[in-house]
Structure 1
Amino acid sequence: MIRAVTTTPYLDQKPGTSGLRKKVRVFQQPNYAENFIQSVFDVIEHERAGATLVIGGDGRFLNREVIQVAIRMAAAAGFARVVVGQGGILSTPAASNLIRKRGALGGLILSASHNPGGPTEDFGIKYNVSNGGPAPENITDAIYARTKVIDTWYAADTPDIDLDTLGEVQVAGMTVEVVDPVADYAELMETLFDFDAIRASKLTMAFDAMSAVTGPYATEILERRLGFAPGTVRNGTPLPDFGGHHPDPNLVHARALYDTMMGEGAPDFGAASDGDGDRNLIIGRGRFVTPSDSLAMLAANAHLAPGYAGGLKGIARSMPTSAAADRVAAELGIPAYETPTGWKFFGNLLDAGMATICGEESAGTGSDHVREKDGLWAVLLWLNILAATGKSVDELAREHWARFGRNYYARHDYEGVDSSAADTLMRDLRGKLATLPGTMIGALTIAQADDFAYTDPTDSSTSANQGVRILFEGGSRVVFRLSGTGTSGATLRVYLERYEPATGDLDANTGKMLADIVAAADELAGIRLHTGRSEPDVVT
């Protein structure tokens, strides 16, 4: 029996760059999750009959409850099969792989990524399409439009299913298949990397899964298949509240790992991943590697892994990511693409065969093996490179900078800023862009200032107002952008970059090297004036 439930719209269900994210208490409102899921199903109404839908999440609070709701609603919507991860668990890259492998119409990924979890924290729902990547803007816009007028949602009148037992069950004539969330993903990784070489290298490592979804994946792949010592994976059990911690793999929230890697007796390699498994942190013994540098170094050495031995078709990076990868692309003689923030823009390039490796400065790196960023993939590529070269992370970094120069880089996050104050800051900054070129801020001369706009080379679609760029003579720059990944207030992100050529000082203190650009950023945007903040909340 199918239930039809009368509802009224919520007007705050506009998906951001990574789906709909709100506080748990918002999703717990009557019909809130159901309205959004039904709106997704209504937008794909003409494709869903007889199709397969993948469902899974990062295990955060409310994950299981919403999965049960989504299964009943999928049955009412006419799907033939739902594939769900055991225990409701699927990392975002594993979900992308499963969508692609099963030829699914799409998938519902229940996650708020690196945001905190728990009864008072965050939850999210994202719809991914048949290529395994996030829904493009025309679909998310249609979903939002539907949420504003929805009046009914539908669900099979059936009990909850057992999410913990592998196998198939029937829900109102629809097959629900509970699968091992790790197996297909682990098999894919074995096709890309030389597991034998990594095992033979006898490397030591520490991996912090941050009590989040990557724990089962890392335990299976690193400890069982690659033979790293038991206990290599720390915080490996996914918890609904991530152990009370913030599952963001940066130097603030993964401080214990950083301290381990900078201390006496550190292992060869350290890494972490985030709430839903799509981000990464890379630290060698005594050497932190910024996400921007990691992208560049992985691209320069990817040919050492079997899956990339044939070379790269191109490299893509988000606009706020440093230009370090561009220098690699130039030497390799392949295209470099600068896109807005959001993995969906990379997906178009990957689908068109124009790029192989992509990265975002916010610790997201990936390739054409799926259509999401992939934290564990980046870790495995690093391990493959270390095993193939016999060099340390520090040696690889120094050699890279001696070859390409170094882009000193940092991101300053001002979190929970009053939204109107943040909007005023950006509006005032945009208002004076035309007057900035040729002017000096301290010893820095502004060469160019603009509000980044992107024309997608695959379909000529355009995306405007993607962040303010101030480019200085000599290759340095500062970028201002409001983030769309938070759930309260506004997060102002300020990206600071100084290029030092290969003949310059390549191992100086990053804060010291960026000091003049930090001062210029405050003078240009009036950060203290607008936000009342004298320093950022997080520096990465």
Structure 2
Amino acid sequence: MFRTVVTTPYDDQKPGTSGLRKKVPVFQQENYVENFVQSIFDSLDGFKGKTLVLGGDGRFYNREVIQVVIRMAAANGFGKVMVGQGGILSTPAASNVIRKYGAFGGIILSASHNPGGPHEDFGIKYNGENGGPATETITDRIFERTRTIGGYKIADLAPVDIDKVGTVLMGDMTVEVIDPVADYAALMESLFDFEAIRTMFTNGFRMRFDAMHAVTGPYAKEIFEKRLGAPDGTARNFVPLPDFGGHHPDPNLVHAKHLYDEMMGPDAPDFGAASDGDGDRNLIIGKGIFITPSDSLAMLAANARLAPGYRKGLKGIARSMPTSGAADRVAEKLGIGMYETPTGWKFFGNLLDAGKATICGEESAGTGSDHVREKDGVWAVLLWLNILAARGESVKEIAERHWATYGRNYYSRHDYEEVETDRANALVAELRGKLGTLPGTSVRGLKIVAADDFAYHDPVDGSVSRNQGLRVLFDGGSRVVFRLSGTGTSGATLRVYIERYEPDKLRHDLDTQEALADLIAAADEIAGIRSHTGRNKPSVIT
């Protein structure tokens, strides 16, 4: 029933910040999936007889890989696999299932916000027993194993009917197909004032939620429409599709422009939101106002006590280094800890597990709390709804009052996607080499006071993560950050983060790009973006 298949290593299976991501045809190579999954199992200890959680965002090749993982889990000695019905399980929901049922860990099949389809992206990542992404120690171990693997274990078993909720025995292992929404919805109901939100909808509150034909569709229908009483049609594009309907499931102002246009229109709903491929990111737009992810983190933290699950207050706030400093001012006023980490949700895990932080966020549209160990798009939407219901104000009124209290951080991210890798690396290497000469100089009339390559010293385990992004800080609190992203599958993405702090409330209604114009020009001059990349403008501006 169980057999070992001889295989040879692939040299391109190094996990990034969110697991292994490649184009589907790469994963379809002989033994490619099997090699990586076996390398995960070979890098773990003590899982015999334990439970593995399994699911994904429904993208192309999801179903086939689920069957492979089930058969390999059986051959490797797992006692049980819990799999989402239809292969569906959002990333935060998977984290919750791992934690709620004391599972050993989980395998999540997703490439997050990247496009899906026969020639698009696919991904595999491992989450540990705390429900969070594997630590760097584990991912390094997995990569080393992929370079030497000579065989994988697999069971000769019939495919599991993953569309039917229930339990089946596969050899000595149990497979339980679970409702992917039920446990997650119950968790949300324990955190938020569903009654107050229901009353708000009953009184005519209007909302649009775009699931982008990705994983959060079933969650949105169940929670927003069925449990909270939002009108039918509130959740749009709610059927998960293998190719996400041919669209890019990234909740930003480019790929969700239709939602932005509706929210800026004359008959705009009160609230607009979207989530991404695997459900861990969010987009927040009020009537006539877009809320940046950095501002959203700060505003959620400032108002979190209005939700039942956070009435005792926050232990601390954590943000990734490229995220604006807006949340820092909230933490200072609340008298709680503020932690600046590298990009990647795994860095928040130690802080959450140690009880140092309650709410975390990244500028790349990810916010979450200690309820799971992943960022959580639907959670962020529900916390916004709870705040709106409790305050009885519009999104715009909440934002304007927040800025009046804390000042406004004008902030934007410019992405240069699919840049030739050698060119992108040359830009970073050249900039890194001159960081020491920048302080004391001026560019475009802006005085540089500091420049460095960000290194993170983890306050929990003492580990140090270096080379996490190049920072150029200007007099007055403005800054520019340069970083190469690890979430794409082809070429390199250069991300440039531009931020200006404006304490004067009379200057809080400027256009963001205009407010940042001199910093944007300075960033190009400092790093030679045009000359290195050949690009005259970013691919995406958020």
Calculate the TM-score normalised by the size of structure 1. Answer: 0.99
- AA of the residue aligned to 2:108: I
Cα distance, 1:265 vs. partner?
A: 1.2
Structure 1 CA distance, aligned partners of 2:292 and 2:425? 29
Alignment of 1:184-263 (within 5 A): 184-202=183-201, 203-263=205-265
| Equivalent residues of 2:403, 2:505 under 8 A apart | no
Q: Secondary structure at the match of 1:397?
A: helix
Structure-2 residue corresponding to 1:110: 109
Structure-2 residue corresponding to 1:123: 122
- What CA deviation, in whole Å up to 9, does each residue of 1:234-263 have, x standing for no partner? 100000000000000000000111011011
Q: CA RMSD in A?
A: 0.5
- What CA deviation, in whole Å up to 9, does each residue of 1:100-129 have, x standing for no partner? 011011000000000000001000000000
Alignment of 1:505-516 (within 5 A): 505-516=507-518
- What CA deviation, in whole Å up to 9, does each residue of 1:179-219 have, x standing for no partner? 00000000000000000000111221000000000000011
- AA of the residue aligned to 1:156: A
2:430 to 428, 440, 451: 428
- AA of the residue aligned to 1:384: N
Most deviating of 263-272 and 180-189: 263-272
Cα distance, 1:394 vs. partner?
A: 0.2
Q: Secondary structure at the match of 1:466?
A: coil
| Equivalent residues of 2:264, 2:287 under 8 A apart | yes
- AA of the residue aligned to 2:512: T
Cα distance, 1:503 vs. partner?
A: 4.0
Structure-2 residue corresponding to 1:67: 66
| Equivalent residues of 2:415, 2:538 under 8 A apart | yes
- What CA deviation, in whole Å up to 9, does each residue of 1:355-409 have, x standing for no partner? 0000000000000000000000000000000000000000000000000000001
| Equivalent residues of 1:403, 1:502 under 8 A apart | no
Q: Which aligned runs of 4 or more in structure 1 are off by greater than 2 angstroms?
A: none
| Equivalent residues of 1:280, 1:379 under 8 A apart | yes
Structure-1 residue corresponding to 2:272: 270
- AA of the residue aligned to 1:31: N
Q: Secondary structure at the match of 2:174?
A: strand
Q: Secondary structure at the match of 1:220?
A: helix
Q: Secondary structure at the match of 1:175?
A: strand
Structure-2 residue corresponding to 1:36: 36
Structure 2 CA distance, aligned partners of 1:73 and 1:414? 39
Structure 1 CA distance, aligned partners of 2:477 and 2:368? 26
The answer to whether the aligner puts 1:170 opposite 2:169 as a matched pair is yes
Structure 2 CA distance, aligned partners of 1:426 and 1:364? 25
Q: Secondary structure at the match of 1:292?
A: helix
Q: Secondary structure at the match of 1:159?
A: coil
Structure-2 residue corresponding to 1:155: 154
- AA of the residue aligned to 1:33: V
Identity %: 73
Structure 2 CA distance, aligned partners of 1:305 and 1:508? 32
Structure 2 CA distance, aligned partners of 1:506 and 1:462? 38
Q: Secondary structure at the match of 2:340?
A: strand
Structure 2 CA distance, aligned partners of 1:97 and 1:502? 42
- AA of the residue aligned to 1:433: L
- AA of the residue aligned to 1:177: E
Cα distance, 1:504 vs. partner?
A: 4.5
Runs of at least 5 residues in structure 1 that lack an aligned partner in the other structure: none
2:455 to 453, 456, 459: 453
Structure-2 residue corresponding to 1:307: 309
Q: Secondary structure at the match of 2:507?
A: coil
- What CA deviation, in whole Å up to 9, does each residue of 1:399-430 have, x standing for no partner? 00000000001000000100000000000000
Q: Secondary structure at the match of 2:364?
A: coil
Structure 1 CA distance, aligned partners of 2:477 and 2:218? 42
Q: Secondary structure at the match of 1:411?
A: strand
Cα distance, 1:438 vs. partner?
A: 1.0
Cα distance, 1:502 vs. partner?
A: 3.8
Runs of at least 5 residues in structure 2 that lack an aligned partner in the other structure: none
| Equivalent residues of 1:350, 1:356 under 8 A apart | yes
Structure-1 residue corresponding to 2:364: 362
- AA of the residue aligned to 1:23: K
Q: Secondary structure at the match of 2:152?
A: strand
- What CA deviation, in whole Å up to 9, does each residue of 1:430-467 have, x standing for no partner? 00000111110012111110000000000000000000
Kindly tell me the number of residue pairs found equivalent between the two proteins. 539
Cα distance, 1:173 vs. partner?
A: 1.2
| Equivalent residues of 1:404, 1:502 under 8 A apart | no
- AA of the residue aligned to 1:496: I
Alignment of 1:399-438 (within 5 A): 399-438=401-440
Cα distance, 1:4 vs. partner?
A: 1.1
Cα distance, 1:159 vs. partner?
A: 1.2
Structure 1 CA distance, aligned partners of 2:504 and 2:87? 49
- What CA deviation, in whole Å up to 9, does each residue of 1:326-364 have, x standing for no partner? 000000000110000000110100000000000000000
Structure-2 residue corresponding to 1:339: 341
1:281 to 255, 273, 283: 283
Alignment of 1:95-106 (within 5 A): 95-106=94-105
| Equivalent residues of 1:315, 1:329 under 8 A apart | yes
Structure-2 residue corresponding to 1:14: 14
| Equivalent residues of 1:251, 1:258 under 8 A apart | yes
Structure-2 residue corresponding to 1:26: 26
Structure-2 residue corresponding to 1:56: 55
Structure 2 CA distance, aligned partners of 1:289 and 1:355? 23
